[in-house]
Amino acid sequence: MLVVTGGGGFIGSVLAAELNEAGHADLVIVDHFGSGDKWRNIAKREFAEILPIDGLLPWLERFGGEVEAVFHLGAISATTFTD
């Protein structure tokens, strides 16, 4: 399995498309989808599972041995976000 954090964003969804083109449908897409437009970015992609951000660590504890690679593209891109 291949994990793509930030997989619902523009770059992450393009990576998912390229991985699909290369024959990978065993993708785990991790992102904060909410009710925004990110769902459209992955609507035509093949993937094994979608996880919320807080679901990644429990998922890795269970299935981490099956992960071949993690593409970490997840980030907060808003310039107005404060900690």
pLDDT per residue, tens digit, the chain (83 aa), is 999 999 999 999 999 999 999 999 999 999 998 777 887 888 889 999 999 999 999 999 999 999 999 999 998 777 787 76
Domain-embedded: residue 21: yes
pLDDT of residue 43: 85
Domain total in the chain: 1
Q: Is residue 58 part of a domain?
A: no
By the 8 A CB rule, do 55 and 63 touch?
no
Domain span including residue 23: 1-27
Q: Is the CB of residue 74 less than 8 Å from the CB of residue 53? A: yes
Cα–Cα nearest to 77, from 17, 20, 29, 36: 36
pLDDT attached to residue 34: 78
In a domain, 53, yes or no: no
Whether 38 is covered by a domain: the verdict is no
Q: In this predicted structure, what is the pLDDT of residue 83?
A: 65
